[in-house]
């Protein structure tokens, strides 16, 4: 991210091993100095996934299954906003 900054990051919250999605988000918020929009997704219910906690980190939460048209529009809007 330091060498190739991103305007938008779309991440899963539930990785099978290693770093969790929440840990990735917290790391991005600590280390990336350029504004980056983060969208997190999960099959878990919003309460179980911690959507309110994510909102406090300025992260958008989208439950699965994804509405691809909606998500693509959201990403396009965030990219336009970042430019």
8-12: strand order across its sheet = 8-12, 37-42, 59-63
Spans of the chain below 50 pLDDT: none
Q: What is the pLDDT of residue 53?
A: 93
pLDDT given at position 59: 96
The confidence score (pLDDT) of residue 77 equals: 94
Tokens coding 39: 């969208």
Pairing outcome for strands 37-42 and 8-12? parallel
Residue with tokens 């990219």: 79
Please give the pLDDT value at position 54. Answer: 95
Look at residue 35 in the predicted model and tell me its pLDDT: 85
CATH number of the domain at 8-82, please?
3.40.50.2300
- pLDDT for position 6: 87
pLDDT at 3: 79
């Amino acid at each position: 991210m330091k060498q190739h900054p991103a305007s938008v990051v779309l991440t899963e919250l539930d990785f099978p091993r290693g770093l969790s999605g929440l840990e990735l988000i917290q790391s991005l918020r600590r280390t990336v100095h350029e504004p980056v929009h983060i969208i997190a997704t999960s099959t878990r219910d919003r309460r179980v996934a911690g959507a309110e906690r994510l909102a406090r980190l300025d992260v958008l939460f989208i439950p699965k299954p994804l509405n691809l048209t909606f998500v693509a529009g959201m990403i396009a809007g965030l990219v336009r906003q970042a430019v």
